Amino acid sequence: MLLVKGLQKSYSVPVLSDFSFELVAGEVHALVGSNGAGKSTFARILSGLTQADTGEIEFQGKPYAPRSKRDAEHAGIIMVMQELNVIGTLTVAENIFLSRLPQTAGFVRFAQLRKMAREALSRVGLEDLDPTTPARQLGVGQQQLVEIAGALAQNCRVLILDEPTAALTDPEIDRLFDNIRRLQAQGVGIIYVSHRMDEIRRIATRVTVLRDGRRVATHPAQEVTPAALVREMVGHDLPERKSGTARATQQVGLRVSHLSSSDRVRDVSFEVRRGEILGLAGLIGAGRTETLRAIFGADRKTTGEIFVGDSSRAAKIREPSDAVRCGIGMVPEDRKIDGLLLAQSIRVNTTLATLSEHVKGGGWLNFRSETSTTNILGERLGVRCASPEQVISELSGGNQQKVVIARWLARNCSVLLFDEPTRGIDVAAKDTIYQLLRDLATEGKAVLVVSSELTELMALCDRILVMSAGSIAAEFLPGEWSQEKITHAAFSGYLDRSEAQP
């Protein structure tokens, strides 16, 4: 149904070189590759957001060259992007049907809009969501499902999903896959861009590997191993992921006591030892991010005390600046909104938390020392860029995340909070970050990691806490845990007493 030949696209460097691709109606064709390999660019070309330099695309037998998103949507090719495009101040219903609001003579027919929205939402399993909810009140996972609902509500023949499950938890992913299978049965072709090998095995028909803008190979999804795919993506083997080793000490790095914040965090207490990596699992909306933010002083806490190190006096944390002074650092969930200064250089972003270390007499900045620190940290984390002066918005997601982490490494904190540190990042970069987390723990820091990827947590952590509905539902040690047990604990806070299993 869709045929791509010899596609070429360059910005200042070639991003796609002689790329060929085909999609058959009713198939789920996965597209894998490291960041910067060209997957997102290809998706953007197909969905009309940008144009290729050369090459041809044929859709349903006719030449296809959309000049805009509208052209593509008219033709029936729709993309749901990795970065959310939800408009916070509008309601869910308005977001879904923004370009097609039902109207008479310019006035919106709200009743009909609500009905249409309820239908669209039920297709992604959100039938209980009130369509008049302002979109900004939704969690990231729900926002993504709303976007997908919006795409499904249009008449699409080709659906492009770019990292759709990055912010979804397992039950939500199952729902998404059910929807995808239903679309397949209707003859819709789906291009599924993802890093998640396990998902590709579950849902994809074929998988194409992209490297440096070229197609390396296409395999039937069930016949190829993840290791083989990774080898093709990277060009060489990646070292095996080691599971968490016992390097936690007896000393306490961070103690949280009866922490409560708005209604999202309810009487949470736990400790993180120095040298320990503590994982925090749970469903979207369980309160994990809110817990981290309350510890860091980004959100106001209603009750509770934070103790750093072996101090017996509670730390007075009312603003993040207080937390940082106590030696706590936080890598936030959404790097674009909360972490990065997008229009500024890598150097400016890296030294933001440690400017006082790069000062000559009188408060004047020492650019050379900033550059030197940026280079050192950049090397350590493997940040791929043209120079430290490069504007950070030009970097890939993985490299941007490394810079945010570098900012905190420069600070030499004793406690580090990571909120979804590997979201939207390719396999090689993830590995770098995992190794970094282990190194930080070995250095004696207390590391707390929030993640929705259970395999990641189980491979990385020394202990896993599960949050559910604002409280801690369970604690697991290595050997005790499994995906089923963690998921069960994650749900427990939302079940009726009678439904809870013994």
Partner 1 sequence: MRTGKPSQFGEYAAMLLIWLGLFLVFGLLTDKFLTWRTVNALANRVPALVVVSAGMTLVLVIGGIDLSVGSVLGLSGAVLGVALKDWHWPFFGCILICLAVATVAGLVNGLISVRLAVPSFIVTLGMLEVARGLAYLTTHSQTKYLGESLESLAQPLRYLGCSPAFLISILVVAATQLVLTRSVFGRYLVAIGTNEQAVRLAGINPRVAKMGVFALSGLLSGAGAIFYTSRLGSSDPNAGVGLELSAIAAVVIGGTSLMGGRGSAVSSFFGVLIIATLESGLAQMGASEPVKRVVTGAVIVLAVVVDAWRHHLAGARFAFVTRLLGPKPTPRS
Per CB under 8 A, residues contacting partner 1 are 11-12, 296, 298, 319-321, 323-325, 329-330, 332, 337-345, 348, 352-353, 355-356, 359, 363-365, 367, 385-387, 389-391, 393-394, 407, 411
Contact (CB, 8 A) for 82 and 162: yes
We find the least distance from the C-beta atom of residue 332 to partner 1, in angstroms, to be 6
In this complex, which beta carbon is closest to partner 1, that of residue 134 or of residue 320? 320
**Nearest distance, CB of residue 339 and partner 1, angstroms:** 6
Cβ proximity of 315 and 308 under 8 Å: yes
Shortest approach of partner 1 to residue 499 CB, angstroms? 39
Least distance from C-beta 17 to partner 1, angstroms? 19
Nearer to partner 1, 362 or 479 (CB): 362
Q: Tokens standing for 77? A: 């090719």
CB atoms within 10 A of CB 74: 13
Distance CA 425, CA 306 (A): 32
What is the DSSP annotation of 354-375? Answer: GGGGGEETTTEE-HHHHHHHHH
Structure tokens of 471?
């409280």
Q: Report which residue type is found at 358.
A: H
Q: Compare residues 159 and 392 and give the one whose CB is closer to partner 1.
A: 392
CB 251 within 8 A of CB 310: yes
Supply the minimum distance, in Å, between the C-beta of residue 275 and partner 1. 24
β-partners of residue 191 are 29, 160
- Closest separation in Å from C-beta 408 to partner 1: 9
List beta partners, residue 282.
467
Residue closer to partner 1, measured from CB, 65 or 341: 341
What do you get for the CA distance between the two ends of the chain, in Å?
Answer: 51
Nearer to partner 1, 132 or 366 (CB): 366
Nearer to partner 1, 256 or 346 (CB): 346
DSSP 339: I
SS3 state of residue 276: coil
Instruction: State in angstroms the smallest separation of the CB of 419 from partner 1.
Output: 11
Closer to partner 1 by Cβ: residue 366 or 483: 366
Would you say 105 or 337 has its CB closer to partner 1?
337
The residue type of 115 is K
Q: Least distance (Å) from partner 1 to the CB of residue 50?
A: 15
Nearest residue (CB) to partner 1, 111 versus 343: 343
CA distances to 189, 332, 376, 410, 443 from 323, in Å: 49, 14, 26, 16, 20
Closest distance to partner 1 from the beta carbon of 129 (Å): 27
Q: 54-59 and 2-10 as β-strands: parallel, antiparallel, unpaired?
A: antiparallel
Nearest to partner 1 of 113, 326 (CB atom) = 326
**Whole-number minimum distance, CB 65 to partner 1, in Å?**
23
Give ∠ CA 181-45-382 in degrees, rounded to 5.
90
Cβ of 199: how many Cβ atoms within 10 Å?
A: 17
CA distance 167 to 172: 9
Which residue type, as a one-letter code, is found at position 62?
K
DSSP 440-475: HHHTT-EEEEE-S-HHHHHHH-SEEEEEETTEEEEE
Nearest distance, CB of residue 353 and partner 1, angstroms: 5
Q: What are phi and psi of 473, to 5 degrees?
A: -95, -30
Give 3 or 49: the residue with its C-beta nearer to partner 1: 49
Instruction: List strands edge to edge, sheet with 252-261.
Output: 265-273, 252-261, 303-308
